[in-house]
C-alpha cells in the first residue's frame, strides 16, 4: 500500500492468502479501513467526526473526541433522520455524523493526492454520503482522494428559532466540523490538505456556496457548484413556533417553546420526522440572529457578503438543461387547469402586494403570452420553473462572483443517456437532463448496470474534467481525444460555458433571452426580495 500507515495482516482461510487491511494513524486516533474489491483503493467508512448533543439535538454538535481503541471504519449505512427517497420510509439516527474516505493505494506522505469533498443534496431534508448513490470508483481511479459526509437534516439540521439554543443552520455547522476534521486528518490518508476541492449538488451546492461566503477559516481551495447556490429558494425565514407546532402534532400542547423543545428532545426521531411531515413544515437555511457567545454561520444575505474567499477560490459551476423535467413529464392534462405556478414560485423570492401582482403578469406573458393554462404549455412552464428554481440563481451567482474577480468554469449538462439519475428512476423518456441527472456520471450508483459505450464516455469525460479541476485548477489543461474542446473560463464580458452533451461544445451564455430577462426583472424588484429587505 502506497500511503504511509500501519498495516494489519489478516490471514485468509482460503489458500493461505494474506489480506492487508489499512490502519491509519490520525490525530483522532487509529482508524482501520477495508480494501475495495472494485478497484485499487481503500475505504474508511463511517468515521465519526462529531456528536449530537442529546440534551439539545436541534442545536450545535460537538467535535468527536479521540478514539481510545482502533476504530473499525467499515460501515457507511448510518443516515441522519429523514424520509428515505427510495423506500419512502422514515429512517435514520442522530448518531449519524459520519464521513467516508476513499483513498487510491498509490497515495502516501511522499505522494499526496488532491482531495475532492462531496456534500450531498436533498433539499436539506434527505440524502446521505453512503455508497448506495455515491460510489467512489469512477472518481478515485483518477488518483484523487474522495471524502463524503452526512450532516443533520430537516428539524434537527435546520430548525431556526432565533434563540441562542437553536440559532439555525445546524446542518451547515455539522459540515463545518467535518471540513475541519478533514483539514486536520486527511494527510494521514495520503491526501493533500492544501489541495482540497469542495463540491456539491443542489442543496449540497448551496452548502458549498455558504461555506465560501462564511467568515470562517479557509478549509478548501476550490469549489464545484452543481445546480445550486446560496441564492436558491432553500434560503428561508426562521420559524419561531416550530416546536409548538410539532408538539401539538404529537399530542402535547404547550405555549412554552423551551418546554416544547425539551419534549421533542426526548421523542424518538421517527416521531419528530413524522410530525414535521404532518405539520407541513419545511426547514431551510436561515439568516441567523446574532447573539453574544454564539458562533453564527449565515448572518447576512448572500448578496450582502463580501468575502475575500470569493475572489481567491476558483470555481466550476453550472446546471442541467431541463432541471424541472421530473415535475412536468408525467403531469396529467387536468392538472394544468388553474395551475398557479407563477405566483407559487415568485413568492419564494418576493414580497407580494397589488403592484407586484402586475409584475407577476409580466413574467407570465414573457413565458406563455396570453395563452390559457393548458397541457400545450407543459414545456414552457418547465422552462419557467427551471429558470426560477435553479438556472437563474446559479447564473446570478456566477455573474455576481465574476464581478468580484472570481475565476469560473461554467457548464450546461445536456446529456441524455441510459444512466440519467432522476429520469431513469421516474421512467422519463423525454430528451434532456433533469435535476441531479449528472450524478450517475460522476458516481458509481450501486444499483446501476454496466454502462453503455456512450454512457461510459460521458463518465470518462465528466470525471476527467472534474478531477483535472481538482488537480490543476483547469478542467482541460490540454486537449485530448477524450476532451477535444478547450474549456475556457467565463468572464465579465463573455459568458463562456461548456455544453456537456454527446459532443462537447464551447458556447456562450445559456438561455440568453430568458436569463437576461430575469436578470433585469430581479434588478428592478430587488427592493421586494423578502430576505434582503428584512
Output the nine-digit C-alpha cell for 234: 432553500
Which residues lie across from 500 on neighbouring strands?
413
**Per-residue pLDDT at 380:** 97
Residue 321 sits at φ, ψ, to 5 deg, of: -80, -15
Measured torsion, CA atoms of residues 358, 360, 361, 362, in degrees rounded to the nearest 10: 90
Q: Which residue matches cell numbers 478533514?
A: 182
Residue 304 sits at φ, ψ, to 5 deg, of: -95, -5
Is residue 69 part of the annotated active site? The answer reads no
**Per-residue pLDDT at 355:** 87
Distances (CA, A) of 460 to 37, 201, 464, 466: 20, 19, 6, 10
**Per-residue pLDDT at 395:** 98
Indicate whether 269 belongs to any domain. Answer: no
Domain closes at, from 265, 294, 313? 313
Do 184 and 305 have their domain in common? yes
Domain closes at, from 313, 333, 360? 313
Do 66 and 125 have their domain in common? yes
**Per-residue pLDDT at 20:** 61
CATH number at residue 304: 3.40.50.1820
Indicate whether 406 belongs to any domain. Answer: yes
Do 324 and 306 have their domain in common? no
Do 333 and 403 have their domain in common? yes
Q: Which residue matches cell numbers 483503493?
A: 41
Do 302 and 343 have their domain in common? no
Indicate whether 23 belongs to any domain. Answer: no
**Per-residue pLDDT at 340:** 87
Do 411 and 354 have their domain in common? yes
Do 369 and 476 have their domain in common? yes
Distances (CA, A) of 146 to 118, 352, 481, 521: 8, 44, 26, 40
Do 396 and 465 have their domain in common? yes
Indicate whether 9 belongs to any domain. Answer: no
On whether the CB atoms of residues 14 and 75 are closer than 8 A, the answer is no
Do 324 and 290 have their domain in common? no
Domain tally, the chain? 2
What is the DSSP code string of 366-399? HHHTTPPSSGGGHHHHHHHHHIIIIIHHHHHHHH
DSSP type of residue 161: -
Domain closes at, from 313, 331, 354? 313
On whether the CB atoms of residues 316 and 466 are closer than 8 A, the answer is yes
Is residue 202 part of the annotated active site? The answer reads yes
The span from the CA of 337 to the CA of 377, in Å, is 11
**Per-residue pLDDT at 533:** 61
Do 357 and 301 have their domain in common? no
Indicate whether 278 belongs to any domain. Answer: no
Output the nine-digit C-alpha cell for 265: 428532545
Strands 113-119 and 50-51: unpaired
Do 305 and 432 have their domain in common? no
Pick the catalytic residue from 61, 202, 206, 229: 202
The 3-class SS string of 78-134 reads CCCCEECCCCCCEECCCCCCEEEEEEECCCECCECEEEEEEECCCCCCCCCCCCCCC
Do 324 and 181 have their domain in common? no
Q: CB atoms < 10 A from the CB of 327, how many?
A: 17
The span from the CA of 247 to the CA of 259, in Å, is 10
**Per-residue pLDDT at 8:** 41
> Residues 6 or more apart from 139 whose CB is under 8 A from it?
102, 116, 146, 442, 443, 463, 466, 467
Domain that holds residue 100: 28-239+283-313
Distances (CA, A) of 399 to 56, 282, 309, 394, 488: 40, 29, 16, 9, 16
**Per-residue pLDDT at 21:** 77
Indicate whether 263 belongs to any domain. Answer: no
- Side-chain-side CA neighbours of 160 within 13 Å: the count stands at 24
pLDDT in tens, the chain (534 residues): 444 444 443 333 344 444 467 999 999 999 999 999 999 999 999 999 999 999 999 999 999 999 999 999 999 999 999 999 999 999 999 999 999 999 999 999 999 999 999 999 999 999 999 999 999 999 999 999 999 999 999 999 999 999 999 999 999 999 999 999 999 999 999 999 999 999 999 999 999 999 999 999 999 999 999 999 999 988 889 999 999 999 999 999 999 999 999 999 999 999 999 999 999 999 999 999 999 999 999 999 999 999 999 999 999 999 999 999 999 999 999 999 888 899 999 998 999 988 898 999 999 999 999 999 999 999 999 999 999 999 999 999 999 999 999 999 999 999 999 999 999 999 999 999 999 999 999 999 999 999 999 999 999 999 999 999 999 999 999 999 999 999 999 999 999 999 999 999 999 999 999 999 999 999 999 999 987 765
The span from the CA of 252 to the CA of 319, in Å, is 44
DSSP type of residue 226: E
What is the DSSP code string of 441-478? GTS--TT--PPPHHHHHHHHHHHHHHHHHHHHS-S-SS
Indicate whether 442 belongs to any domain. Answer: yes
On whether the CB atoms of residues 269 and 94 are closer than 8 A, the answer is yes
Pick the catalytic residue from 214, 238, 279, 323: 323
Indicate whether 259 belongs to any domain. Answer: no
Amino acid at each position: 500500500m502506497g500511503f504511509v500507515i500501519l498495516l494489519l495482516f489478516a490471514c485468509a482461510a482460503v489458500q493461505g492468502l494474506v489480506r492487508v487491511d489499512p490502519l491509519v494513524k490520525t490525530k483522532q486516533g487509529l482508524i482501520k479501513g477495508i480494501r475495495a474489491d472494485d478497484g485499487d483503493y481503500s475505504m474508511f467508512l463511517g468515521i465519526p467526526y462529531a456528536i449530537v448533543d442529546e440534551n439539545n439535538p436541534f442545536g450545535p454538535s460537538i467535535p468527536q473526541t479521540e478514539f481510545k481503541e482502533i476504530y473499525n471504519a467499515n460501515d457507511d449505512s448510518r443516515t441522519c433522520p429523514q424520509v428515505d427517497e427510495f423506500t419512502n420510509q422514515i429512517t435514520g439516527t442522530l448518531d449519524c455524523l459520519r464521513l467516508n474516505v476513499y483513498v487510491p493505494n498509490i497515495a502516501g506522505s511522499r505522494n499526496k493526492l488532491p482531495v475532492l469533498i462531496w456534500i450531498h443534496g436533498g433539499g436539506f431534508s434527505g440524502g446521505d454520503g453512503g455508497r448506495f448513490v455515491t460510489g467512489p470508483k469512477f472518481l478515485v481511479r483518477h488518483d484523487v482522494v474522495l471524502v463524503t459526509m452526512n450532516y443533520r437534516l430537516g428539524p434537527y439540521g435546520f430548525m431556526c428559532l432565533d434563540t441562542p439554543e437553536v440559532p439555525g443552520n445546524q446542518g451547515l455547522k455539522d459540515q463545518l466540523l467535518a471540513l475541519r476534521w478533514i483539514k486536520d486528518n486527511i494527510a494521514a490518508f495520503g491526501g493533500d490538505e492544501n489541495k482540497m476541492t469542495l463540491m456539491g449538488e443542489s442543496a449540497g451546492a448551496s452548502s458549498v456556496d455558504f461555506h465560501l461566503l462564511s467568515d470562517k477559516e479557509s478549509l478548501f481551495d476550490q469549489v464545484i457548484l452543481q445546480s445550486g447556490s446560496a441564492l436558491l429558494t432553500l434560503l428561508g425565514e426562521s420559524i419561531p413556533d416550530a416546536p409548538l407546532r410539532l408538539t401539538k402534532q404529537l399530542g402535547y400542547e404547550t405555549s412554552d417553546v423551551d418546554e416544547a423543545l425539551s419534549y421533542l428532545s426526548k421523542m424518538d426521531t421517527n416521531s419528530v420526522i413524522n410530525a414535521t411531515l404532518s405539520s407541513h413544515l419545511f426547514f431551510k437555511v436561515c439568516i441567523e440572529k446574532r447573539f453574544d457567545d454564539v458562533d453564527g454561520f449565515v448572518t447576512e444575505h448572500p448578496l450582502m457578503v463580501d468575502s475575500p474567499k470569493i475572489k481567491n477560490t476558483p470555481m466550476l459551476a453550472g446546471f442541467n438543461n431541463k432541471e424541472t423535467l421530473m415535475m412536468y413529464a408525467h403531469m396529467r392534462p387536468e392538472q394544468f387547469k388553474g395551475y398557479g405556478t407563477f405566483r407559487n414560485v415568485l413568492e419564494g423570492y418576493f414580497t407580494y402586494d397589488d403592484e407586484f401582482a402586475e409584475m407577476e403578469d409580466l413574467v407570465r406573458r414573457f413565458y406563455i403570452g396570453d395563452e390559457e393554462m393548458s397541457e400545450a404549455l407543459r414545456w414552457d412552464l418547465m422552462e419557467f420553473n427551471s429558470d426560477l428554481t435553479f438556472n437563474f440563481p446559479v447564473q446570478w451567482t456566477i455573474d455576481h462572483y465574476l464581478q468580484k474577480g472570481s475565476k469560473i468554469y461554467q457548464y450546461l449538462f445536456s446529456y441524455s443517456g441510459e444512466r440519467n439519475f432522476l429520469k431513469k428512476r421516474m421512467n422519463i423518456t423525454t430528451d434532456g437532463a433533469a435535476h441531479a441527472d449528472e450524478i450517475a456520471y460522476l458516481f458509481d450508483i450501486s444499483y446501476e448496470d454496466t454502462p453503455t459505450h456512450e454512457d461510459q464516455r460521458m463518465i470518462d469525460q465528466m470525471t476527467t474534467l472534474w478531477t483535472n479541476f481538482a488537480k490543476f485548477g483547469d478542467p482541460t489543461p490540454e486537449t485530448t481525444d477524450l476532451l477535444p474542446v478547450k474549456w475556457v473560463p467565463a468572464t465579465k464580458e463573455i459568458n463562456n460555458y461548456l455544453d456537456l452533451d454527446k459532443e462537447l461544445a464551447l458556447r456562450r451564455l445559456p438561455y440568453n433571452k430568458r436569463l437576461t430577462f430575469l436578470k433585469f426583472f430581479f434588478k428592478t424588484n430587488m427592493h421586494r426580495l423578502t430576505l434582503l429587505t428584512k
